[in-house]
Amino acid sequence: MAAAKSVVLVVISCCLIAASNGMNFPSFFPRDKFGGFPSFPAQNIFSPLMLGYYNRPGICKQNPEVIIQQIVNGSVAADRTLAAGLLRMHFHDAFVRGTEASVLLKSPNNDAERNAIPNLSLRGFEVIDAAKAAVEKVCPNVVSCADILALAARDSVVAIGGPWWPVPTGRRDGVQSHASETTDLPPPSANFTQLLSMFQKKNLDKVDLVALSAAHTIGRGHCGAFSSRIYDAAGNNAIDPTLDAAYANKLRGFCPPRDTVTTVEMDPNSSLNFDSHYFQAVLAKQGLFKSDAALLTDAGARSLVQTGASAPIIFKSQFGFSMTKMGKIGVLTGRPGEPPSQIRKQCAFVNP
């Protein structure tokens, strides 16, 4: 045992020395001044969000984060596929108006975000509603739907063996939701230039793009989202050359032409486990969407994909780092100059 630990320490030490000497040691993490991998950023005293916001004295009778985790754990235990649904919902919320729960709102005119085509397949609304109802019983009018969604996404990933990451809380809920604004969501047909531009507009970088793309390690995708890759790429009914031919033929077996209903695993044979297999699939030209294959068209992104495939611990750490970062997009905390916000009593409806 002692010898094994010594070997591990030597390997880590060598890697850190190589990194600090400027050697080509690919890593997701930005290197700190010591050449190592930084931990999650310390709480910024000027940040509008804070860790344990609801666990301060006098705020709630019970810690709402524990209640939310219990609801999520029970839901995911009953249906493991909900982890992908909750994670995707958080992503779709963050990229449109920020993490202020606009994706949860319903509209009598069916023109809210959840009515837009990219969101029609979102799943897990009932989990968020159940968590909100449970929290309201012990801490009424305090915990936002935006925080519940951010926490639920994290807890759902942990529930299937994925990484834990810190979720600072204190968000408020937005009061608007427009289907027309879902054009901010990166489409599965996007090329690398388009993807990077859309991420950069949200203050996310190339490392975040690659790390967060690996959310495709869980969940399923509709045939219509990739049909052009297996039937009519370039308009000649040929298979997309960036897709493995044998894999494409397998997909054809699941997805007849013009099928928009059937779903297939986004990460072949590993869609219920949060792991780094996604990167192995991408390198094998088995990324389901054009946006997955696009990661190999940029040298820096390709290097990160290779790192993710060979170093799952580094990937999982960076995934959590990027999720914490994404969770801070466009937050509302009631500061002067912000759009109107509130703590919704029901997540699907603005308070009267």
Written as one letter, the residue type at 187 is P
> Beta partners for 50?
169
Alpha-carbon distance of 79 to 312, in angstroms, equals 25
User: Which residue has 């990027």 as its token pair?
Assistant: 322
Q: Please give the C-alpha separations between residue 297 and each of 191, 242, 303, 346, in angstroms, as whole numbers.
A: 9, 10, 11, 44
Written as one letter, the residue type at 277 is H
Residues 6+ apart with CB under 8 A from 240: 228, 229, 230, 233, 248, 290, 293
Dig out the tokens for 239 from the structure. Answer: 């298979």
Question: What's the average pLDDT block by block, 10 residues per block, for the chain (352 residues)?
Answer: 37 34 40 36 57 94 96 98 98 98 97 97 98 97 98 98 97 98 97 98 97 97 94 73 95 92 94 94 97 98 97 96 97 94 98 95
Alpha-carbon 263 to chain mean position: 19
- Which is it for the CA torsion 332, 335, 341, 343, positive or negative? positive
Q: DSSP letters along 78-99, please? A: H-TTHHHHHHHHHHHHHHTT-S
Residues 6+ apart with CB under 8 A from 83: 76, 156, 157, 159, 160, 162, 218, 274
Residues in the chain: 352
Alpha-carbon 28 to chain mean position: 16
Q: pLDDT at position 232, please?
A: 75
Q: pLDDT at position 235, please?
A: 53
Alpha-carbon distance of 188 to 133, in angstroms, equals 34
Dig out the tokens for 272 from the structure. Answer: 């219920």
Helical (H) or strand (E) element with 222? strand 220-222
Exposure string of 207-228, with b = 16+ CB inside 10 Å and e = fewer, is bbbbbbbbbbbbbbbbbebbbe
Are 184 and 95 in contact by the 8 Å Cβ rule? The answer is yes
Q: pLDDT at position 169, please?
A: 97
Q: What is the pTM of this model?
A: 0.87
Alpha-carbon distance of 99 to 97, in angstroms, equals 7
Residue 66's SS3 state is helix
Are 241 and 266 in contact by the 8 Å Cβ rule? The answer is no
Annotated catalytic residue: which of 92, 178, 216, 222? 92
Q: pLDDT at position 28, please?
A: 53
Are 204 and 325 in contact by the 8 Å Cβ rule? The answer is yes
Alpha-carbon distance of 114 to 179, in angstroms, equals 7
Residue 277 falls in the annotated catalytic set: no
